[in-house]
Protein backbone atom coordinates (compact mmCIF):
# COMPACT_ATOMS: atom_id res chain seq x y z
CA UNK A 1 0.00 0.00 0.00
CA UNK A 2 1.16 3.53 -0.76
CA UNK A 3 1.40 6.28 1.81
CA UNK A 4 -1.72 8.43 1.98
CA UNK A 5 -2.74 11.51 3.93
CA UNK A 6 -4.81 9.18 6.12
CA UNK A 7 -1.82 7.01 7.05
CA UNK A 8 0.31 10.12 7.52
CA UNK A 9 -2.19 11.32 10.14
CA UNK A 10 -2.05 7.95 11.89
CA UNK A 11 1.76 8.06 11.82
CA UNK A 12 1.69 11.60 13.24
CA UNK A 13 -0.46 10.54 16.20
CA UNK A 14 1.83 7.59 16.97
CA UNK A 15 5.00 9.63 16.53
CA UNK A 16 3.75 12.33 18.89
CA UNK A 17 3.40 9.78 21.70
CA UNK A 18 7.21 9.53 21.86
CA UNK A 19 7.55 13.17 22.96
CA UNK A 20 5.46 13.36 26.13
CA UNK A 21 8.39 14.29 28.42
CA UNK A 22 11.05 15.38 25.94
CA UNK A 23 13.47 18.27 26.36
CA UNK A 24 12.66 21.64 24.81
CA UNK A 25 15.45 21.28 22.26
CA UNK A 26 13.99 18.10 20.79
CA UNK A 27 10.29 18.25 21.63
CA UNK A 28 7.29 17.92 19.33
CA UNK A 29 7.57 21.55 18.23
CA UNK A 30 11.00 20.67 16.78
CA UNK A 31 9.39 17.87 14.75
CA UNK A 32 6.69 20.24 13.49
CA UNK A 33 9.29 22.76 12.35
CA UNK A 34 11.38 20.09 10.66
CA UNK A 35 8.27 18.87 8.84
CA UNK A 36 7.53 22.39 7.58
CA UNK A 37 11.14 22.86 6.50
CA UNK A 38 11.16 19.47 4.81
CA UNK A 39 7.92 20.02 2.93
CA UNK A 40 9.15 23.40 1.69
CA UNK A 41 12.51 22.02 0.55
CA UNK A 42 10.97 18.81 -0.76
CA UNK A 43 8.52 20.65 -2.96
CA UNK A 44 11.29 22.81 -4.44
CA UNK A 45 13.52 19.77 -4.98
CA UNK A 46 10.70 17.65 -6.48
CA UNK A 47 10.96 14.96 -3.81
CA UNK A 48 8.19 12.52 -2.88
CA UNK A 49 6.40 14.66 -0.30
CA UNK A 50 4.62 11.80 1.44
CA UNK A 51 7.92 10.02 2.06
CA UNK A 52 9.43 13.31 3.18
CA UNK A 53 6.55 13.98 5.58
CA UNK A 54 6.55 10.48 7.09
CA UNK A 55 10.32 10.66 7.55
CA UNK A 56 10.12 14.05 9.23
CA UNK A 57 7.42 12.91 11.65
CA UNK A 58 9.39 9.83 12.68
CA UNK A 59 12.97 11.10 12.52
CA UNK A 60 13.41 11.77 16.27
CA UNK A 61 11.19 9.13 17.87
CA UNK A 62 14.22 7.63 19.63
CA UNK A 63 15.86 10.95 20.54
CA UNK A 64 14.28 11.24 24.00
CA UNK A 65 15.53 7.80 24.97
CA UNK A 66 19.00 8.57 23.63
CA UNK A 67 19.16 11.68 25.83
CA UNK A 68 18.00 9.76 28.92
CA UNK A 69 20.65 7.10 28.29
CA UNK A 70 23.29 9.80 27.75
CA UNK A 71 24.01 8.89 24.14
CA UNK A 72 24.67 5.19 24.69
CA UNK A 73 22.98 4.45 21.37
CA UNK A 74 22.26 6.33 18.14
CA UNK A 75 18.75 7.75 17.98
CA UNK A 76 18.85 7.89 14.18
CA UNK A 77 19.63 4.19 13.82
CA UNK A 78 17.16 3.16 16.50
CA UNK A 79 14.51 5.51 15.10
CA UNK A 80 15.00 3.95 11.68
CA UNK A 81 14.34 0.49 13.12
CA UNK A 82 11.25 1.66 14.98
CA UNK A 83 9.89 3.39 11.90
CA UNK A 84 9.96 0.08 10.03
CA UNK A 85 7.78 -1.52 12.71
CA UNK A 86 5.36 1.42 12.67
CA UNK A 87 5.00 1.55 8.89
CA UNK A 88 4.57 -2.20 8.56
CA UNK A 89 1.46 -1.97 10.75
CA UNK A 90 -0.16 0.00 7.92
CA UNK A 91 0.95 -2.47 5.23
CA UNK A 92 3.06 0.19 3.52
CA UNK A 93 5.00 -1.08 0.50
CA UNK A 94 8.43 -2.37 1.48
CA UNK A 95 10.20 -0.03 -0.96
CA UNK A 96 8.57 2.97 0.73
CA UNK A 97 9.35 1.63 4.21
CA UNK A 98 13.00 1.27 3.21
CA UNK A 99 13.15 4.82 1.86
CA UNK A 100 11.69 6.28 5.05
CA UNK A 101 13.98 4.16 7.21
CA UNK A 102 17.02 5.25 5.21
CA UNK A 103 16.12 8.93 5.47
CA UNK A 104 15.76 8.63 9.24
CA UNK A 105 19.03 6.74 9.70
CA UNK A 106 20.91 9.21 7.48
CA UNK A 107 19.50 12.43 8.94
CA UNK A 108 22.13 12.59 11.70
CA UNK A 109 25.28 14.25 10.40
CA UNK A 110 27.60 12.26 12.67
CA UNK A 111 26.40 8.95 11.23
CA UNK A 112 28.43 6.87 8.83
CA UNK A 113 25.21 6.45 6.85
CA UNK A 114 25.06 9.18 4.20
CA UNK A 115 21.79 10.26 2.51
CA UNK A 116 21.48 8.54 -0.88
CA UNK A 117 18.00 9.69 -1.95
CA UNK A 118 16.60 13.18 -2.49
CA UNK A 119 14.11 12.53 0.32
CA UNK A 120 16.94 11.67 2.74
CA UNK A 121 18.87 14.78 1.70
CA UNK A 122 15.77 16.91 2.21
CA UNK A 123 15.22 15.54 5.72
CA UNK A 124 18.83 16.08 6.73
CA UNK A 125 18.73 19.68 5.49
CA UNK A 126 15.39 20.33 7.20
CA UNK A 127 16.73 19.06 10.51
CA UNK A 128 19.91 21.10 10.19
CA UNK A 129 17.99 24.26 9.41
CA UNK A 130 16.26 24.06 12.79
CA UNK A 131 19.67 24.40 14.48
CA UNK A 132 20.48 27.78 12.92
CA UNK A 133 18.87 31.18 12.39
CA UNK A 134 16.59 32.79 14.99
CA UNK A 135 15.22 29.41 16.04
CA UNK A 136 18.76 28.08 16.28
CA UNK A 137 19.78 30.90 18.64
CA UNK A 138 16.85 30.11 20.91
CA UNK A 139 17.58 26.40 20.87
CA UNK A 140 21.29 27.02 21.48
CA UNK A 141 20.69 28.86 24.75
CA UNK A 142 17.98 26.39 25.72
CA UNK A 143 20.42 23.53 25.13
CA UNK A 144 23.07 25.20 27.28
CA UNK A 145 20.61 25.59 30.14
CA UNK A 146 19.42 22.01 29.76
CA UNK A 147 23.03 20.81 29.82
CA UNK A 148 23.52 22.66 33.11
CA UNK A 149 25.73 25.47 31.84
CA UNK A 150 26.58 28.04 34.50
CA UNK A 151 27.68 30.72 32.05
CA UNK A 152 26.09 33.09 29.58
CA UNK A 153 29.58 33.25 28.09
CA UNK A 154 33.15 32.61 29.31
CA UNK A 155 35.28 34.65 26.95
CA UNK A 156 37.33 31.54 26.14
CA UNK A 157 35.13 30.22 23.34
CA UNK A 158 37.22 31.33 20.37
CA UNK A 159 40.44 30.36 22.12
CA UNK A 160 39.18 26.80 22.55
CA UNK A 161 38.41 26.62 18.83
CA UNK A 162 41.83 28.05 17.91
CA UNK A 163 43.48 25.35 20.00
CA UNK A 164 41.91 22.81 17.67
CA UNK A 165 39.59 21.27 20.22
CA UNK A 166 36.44 21.74 18.15
CA UNK A 167 36.30 18.29 16.54
CA UNK A 168 36.33 16.16 19.68
CA UNK A 169 35.31 18.64 22.35
CA UNK A 170 32.97 17.35 25.07
CA UNK A 171 30.50 19.98 26.27
CA UNK A 172 30.59 20.56 30.04
CA UNK A 173 28.72 22.66 32.60
CA UNK A 174 31.58 25.15 32.48
CA UNK A 175 30.84 25.94 28.81
CA UNK A 176 28.28 28.17 27.13
CA UNK A 177 25.84 28.49 24.26
CA UNK A 178 28.45 30.66 22.57
CA UNK A 179 30.90 27.76 22.51
CA UNK A 180 28.29 25.51 20.91
CA UNK A 181 27.90 28.14 18.21
CA UNK A 182 31.66 28.52 17.64
CA UNK A 183 32.35 24.78 17.49
CA UNK A 184 29.29 23.48 15.69
CA UNK A 185 26.46 25.78 14.68
CA UNK A 186 28.40 28.34 12.63
CA UNK A 187 29.52 25.59 10.23
CA UNK A 188 26.19 23.81 9.65
CA UNK A 189 25.11 25.68 6.53
CA UNK A 190 28.22 24.47 4.66
CA UNK A 191 26.99 20.89 4.99
CA UNK A 192 23.60 21.36 3.34
CA UNK A 193 22.75 18.75 0.70
CA UNK A 194 20.20 20.46 -1.53
CA UNK A 195 20.22 23.70 -3.49
CA UNK A 196 17.18 24.97 -1.57
CA UNK A 197 18.66 23.94 1.77
CA UNK A 198 21.90 25.72 0.98
CA UNK A 199 20.09 28.96 0.12
CA UNK A 200 17.96 28.98 3.27
CA UNK A 201 20.88 27.76 5.37
CA UNK A 202 23.12 30.61 4.23
CA UNK A 203 20.45 33.18 5.12
CA UNK A 204 19.91 31.67 8.56
CA UNK A 205 23.62 31.31 9.20
CA UNK A 206 24.24 34.95 8.29
CA UNK A 207 21.53 36.01 10.75
CA UNK A 208 23.10 33.91 13.48
CA UNK A 209 26.55 35.30 12.70
CA UNK A 210 25.25 38.87 12.99
CA UNK A 211 23.60 38.04 16.32
CA UNK A 212 26.78 36.71 17.91
CA UNK A 213 28.84 39.54 16.42
CA UNK A 214 26.52 42.02 18.13
CA UNK A 215 26.51 39.87 21.27
CA UNK A 216 30.25 40.46 21.73
CA UNK A 217 30.00 44.14 20.83
CA UNK A 218 27.39 44.63 23.55
CA UNK A 219 29.58 42.79 26.05
CA UNK A 220 32.39 45.22 25.22
CA UNK A 221 29.98 48.16 25.64
CA UNK A 222 30.42 49.19 22.03
CA UNK A 223 26.70 49.08 21.20
Q: Read off the CATH number of the domain in which 48 is found.
A: 1.10.3210.10
Q: Are 21 and 101 in a shared domain?
A: yes
Question: What are the pLDDT digits (tens) for 89-100?
Answer: 999 999 999 999
Q: Looking at residue 168, what is its pLDDT?
A: 59
In degrees and rounded to multiples of 5, residue 38 shows phi and psi of: -65, -40
Q: Is residue 45 part of a domain?
A: yes
Q: Crossing angle of helices 94-106/118-129, nearest 10°?
A: 40
Residues with pLDDT less than 70, the chain: 70-71, 164-170
- Count of helices and strands (H, E) across the chain: 11, 0
Residue 125 domain-assigned? no
Q: Which domain holds residue 58?
A: 5-111
Condensed to tens digits (0 to 9), the pLDDT of residues 72-83 reads 778 989 999 999
Do 106 and 14 reside in the same domain of the chain?
yes
Residue 119 inside a domain? The answer is no
Q: Which of 120, 117, 139, 122 lies closest to 130 in space, CA to CA?
A: 139
Please check whether residues 107 and 138 belong to one and the same domain: no
pLDDT tens-digit readout, 135-168: 999 999 999 998 889 999 999 888 888 776 555 5
Amino acid sequence: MKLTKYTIKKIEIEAKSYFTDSSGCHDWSHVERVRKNAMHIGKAEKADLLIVEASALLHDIARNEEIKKKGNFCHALEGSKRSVKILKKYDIDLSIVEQVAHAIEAHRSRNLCQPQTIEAKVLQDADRLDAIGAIGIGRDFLFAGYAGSKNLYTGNEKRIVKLGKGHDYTYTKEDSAVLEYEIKLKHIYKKMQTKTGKKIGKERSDYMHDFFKRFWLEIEGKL
